[in-house]
Structure 1
Amino acid sequence: MKKPLRLSDDFMKSLNKQQSHRIISIEDRIEQSWKAIDIMLSLNVINGISGSAPPPPMSQKSKQILQDMDASAKHLAEALGAGKAGAMSQFDIDRNNIWDAVRRNGIATVLSFIDVQLVTNIEKFFAGLVVSYITMFNHGQRTALPADKIFANKTDLKELHKRFYDLRNKWYAHTELEEGRHILKYRVDEEGKITIYKMGEQITPEYHLSESFNLFKCTGQVSLFIDKDLDEKISALMETLTVTQKDILVHHWNHENTLKKFDGHESRI
């Protein structure tokens, strides 16, 4: 199959203002589609550490990528000799011992053996995912996702989405929530002297424990919407193209692929 080409300069110059906006909107949706996939792949990691749960509904593209990642992990295990008979190296022994420990105790416990910070800092990882998720809905230079359309007739997901909006705006990006605020403490010694306790413990909420799968569900719904919205936007764009504009694209396609044929290698696109 031949490699897709960038839209040619001649084609871009032929567009009217509405068509240009349609193309930008499509490009934005494609970026958001990959961002949603990145978020779900990362949440899949947190899900594996915190406790396995079945993935929520999502677009076929997203589902296929998650399945491909699982298949790649299995192929890697096979390449490393999982299940092979014969003499075992120290590497084989160590690997099998780690996998046995994971099966008995879970990923989080085993990671704690390696470095406890890998587990205790998952909340910071999750915070970045929440911020990245909400970015797709913020109005700016990009075509923001319409939350009202995405979560229409999905009351439970709509409430969860609002929850992540609040977490992003009032906790991860700012500090407006009462949760996690430090409470000053003091001591009184035997002589009655009062001392403000400046080294008191600080308890930081870990929302990934309760909210990671909820974010997975919201992002899955986002991927379903984007998949359908992209089809509609591309169809709407194609309906506006003139015969001349289509001829420009066909001519550019034939010209570039003819050059590749004569050059005998892939041209940079």
Structure 2
Amino acid sequence: MRPKQWSKNLLVFAALLFSFPNVTTDMIVHSIFGFFLFSLVSGTVYILNDFIDREADRQHPDKRNRPMASGALNPYVALFFGAIVLLFSIIMAFRFNGAFGALLTLYFVNNVAYSFRLKHVVIVDIMVIASGFVLRAIGGALVIEVPFTPWFLICTMLLALFLAISKRRHELMLLQENKTGHRKVLERYNADLLNQLNSIVTSATIISYALFTFTSGRTLHLMWTIPFVLYGIFRYLYLIHVEGKGGKPDKLLFEDKHILFTVILYALTVMIILNYFER
């Protein structure tokens, strides 16, 4: 179920972060609850992905060590366990909040469609990955019952596209000699295309976030967080193009101290600004 990758679900807390200074204990508890339900459902998606991709993963230098690909775990036992966890998670989500339960179900269906078909469709594959992050952000707002702005969702989508494109580029570079042996869709990509897509998305992300800070209806002092976004994106681009990383954004978050400190400082700055400078 890859708990190390559950850090992607921290996006559930984004709505909570921008709810300062009106955050209550119940909102914190509900966000934590939402985080764990997303983590459990995403864990079942990883089980399904590993089940479907177990033959292709054997061609990958890292993924061939995964339990099902390596033969250490019976694929059908894992699939049965995942079904039980999924059923439990969806039931708990609907009992907690009907809208959140429906969204969590949509998140799973979206990932199933990706696993069986959409991951083989060029461009669509990275857009589906990005949509998963948007659903996490919306889910975070639903569990604490706060509204979200279109700019917030656009920024989330663009940042997710940036990470998805970077992941594809890393896979392309890593599997240059046998790029179709792991993902068939890689034969339809090349480095120039992915670099151009990333250039478009990074520019749009920066502009959209800057507009968000001015049009969100909150204090204009949020503009002081723009440098953190700029540095975070520039640092990630450095890791992609110079260090040859970017295949595992969840891993980079904790391994690269520059990225980690930037995220922490960003979150603290947002809380301070909303707490002391809110109009």
TM-score w.r.t. the length of structure 2 is 0.23
Higher helix share: 2
TM-score w.r.t. the length of structure 1 is 0.24
